[in-house]
């Protein structure tokens, strides 16, 4: 007997983890090597019908995997058979005990059912009697309602008959009233037609009189309008003449004033120009005299220095003492020319300062 069977027979409840932990080591060995098998055999290829080496490798791999698979199936059956046997034994024992319990339970159910059926019959009979009483009461109420409805219908029919008779009487009275009203209306219409004709004739006469009055008023208004237009024309012509005379006089006065203003402006401008010219000439003369006086004073003040500067300029004039033409070397010639130019420039500036 296996350890699993012993545990079950001992009444120990096994869960999935416990059962898994009892799986034979053979399963564990195969499971542990799955990754290695997968790594070695996955992806193997045969290049073609001529690849005998590849073909042999694949064939051996299939055989190896098949061997492991068959071993797993073999051990599965071996390991599972005790569990199947236990299941069958459990089912058989449970069935036996269930039959024993049902043999006790079923008579009790029958005993209880008999009492329950009797109670149900009594209850149903009582409910039927109560329903009969209720139905009888409802029938009586329905008959009373029906009788009351029939009485109300008869009363309503009588009321409708009386109303219809009254309506017929009212219609007859209304017909007579309509006849009398029509006769009165015809008479009134005849009177109204005569009055309207008379009123129309009077209205026509009044309109003719009004039209004649309006024509006379229009003629009078036209005459007055003609007179007013003549007066307005004369007034307008007079106003135009007066306005022209005023405008001419205004133009003459403005022309005279403009001529006087122009002459006055011209005279004032000529006088101002003459005064400005005289002032300018006076200013120029005064400035010239002032500058001359300043120059004379400065010249007198600088006379000692002038003599010194004149002598210095004379001393710088090397044309008499220097024979630049005797210099031959180009560098010396260039230098002598530069010196001579500088000296003449200094002499020129001194002479300018001295006013020569």
Q: Using one digit for the tens of pLDDT, what is the confidence trace for 317-336? A: 655 556 666 777 888 878 87
Strand segments, DSSP code E, in 141-300 are: none
Q: Which DSSP symbol is given to 325?
A: G
Nearest-angstrom CA–CA distance, 221 and 214: 10
What Rg do the C-alpha atoms of the chain give, in angstroms?
80
CB proximity list for 333: less than 8 A, separation 6 or greater: 327
Nearest-angstrom CA–CA distance, 164 and 318: 169
pLDDT at residue 130 in the model: 92
Q: Which DSSP symbol is given to 109?
A: H
Q: Determine contact, residues 91/46, Cβ cutoff 8 Å.
A: no
pLDDT at residue 217 in the model: 82
pLDDT tens string 183-204 = 777 876 777 677 788 867 888 8
Residues of the chain with pLDDT under 50: 9, 11, 13
Burial per residue of 67-102, b for 16 or more beta-carbon CB atoms within 10 angstroms, e otherwise: eeeeeeeebeeebeebeeebeeeeeeeeeeeeeeee
Question: Would you say the pTM of this structure is higher than 0.95?
Answer: no
pLDDT at residue 294 in the model: 87
Q: Determine contact, residues 75/24, Cβ cutoff 8 Å.
A: yes
pLDDT at residue 15 in the model: 59
pLDDT tens string 56-104 = 999 999 999 999 899 889 988 888 888 888 889 999 999 999 999 999 9
Q: Determine contact, residues 39/65, Cβ cutoff 8 Å.
A: no
Nearest-angstrom CA–CA distance, 7 and 17: 14
Boundaries of every domain in the chain = 3-128
What is the dihedral sign for C-alpha 93, 97, 102, 107? positive
End-to-end distance of the chain based on CA atoms, in angstroms?
Answer: 157
């Amino acid at each position: 007997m296996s350890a699993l069977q012993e545990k079950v027979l001992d009444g120990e409840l096994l869960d999935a983890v416990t059962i898994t932990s009892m799986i034979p080591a053979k399963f564990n060995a195969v499971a542990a090597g799955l990754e290695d098998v997968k790594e070695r055999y996955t992806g193997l290829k045969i290049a073609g019908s001529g690849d005998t080496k590849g073909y042999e490798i694949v064939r051996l791999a299939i055989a190896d995997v098949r061997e492991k698979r068959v071993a797993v199936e073999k051990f599965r059956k071996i390991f599972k058979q005790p569990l199947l046997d236990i299941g069958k034994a459990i089912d058989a024992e449970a069935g036996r005990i269930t039959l024993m319990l049902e043999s006790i339970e079923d008579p009790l159910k029958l005993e209880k059912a008999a009492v329950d059926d009797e109670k149900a019959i009594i209850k149903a009979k009582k409910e039927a009697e109560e329903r009969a009483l209720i139905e009888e009461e409802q029938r009586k109420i329905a008959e009373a309602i029906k009788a009351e409805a029939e009485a109300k219908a008869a009363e309503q029919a009588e009321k409708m008959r009386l109303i219809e008779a009254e309506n017929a009487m009212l219609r007859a009275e209304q017909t007579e009233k309509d006849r009398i009203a029509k006769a009165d209306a015809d008479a009134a219409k005849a009177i109204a037609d005569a009055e309207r004709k008379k009123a129309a004739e009077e209205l026509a006469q009044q309109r003719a009189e009004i039209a004649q009055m309006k024509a006379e008023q229009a003629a009078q208004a036209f005459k007055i309008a003609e007179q007013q237009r003549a007066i307005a024309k004369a007034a307008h012509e007079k106003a135009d003449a007066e306005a022209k005379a005023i405008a001419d006089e205004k133009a003459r006065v403005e022309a005279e004033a403009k001529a006087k203003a122009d002459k006055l402006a011209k005279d004032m401008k000529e006088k101002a120009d003459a005064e400005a010219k005289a002032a300018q000439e006076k200013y120029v003369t005064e400035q010239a005299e002032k500058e001359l006086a300043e120059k004379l004073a400065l010249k007198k003040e600088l006379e000692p220095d002038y003599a010194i500067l004149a002598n210095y300029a004379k001393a710088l004039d090397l044309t008499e003492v220097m024979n630049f033409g005797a210099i031959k070397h180009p560098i010396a010639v260039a230098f002598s020319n530069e010196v001579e130019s500088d000296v003449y420039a200094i002499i020129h500036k001194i002479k300018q300062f001295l006013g020569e």
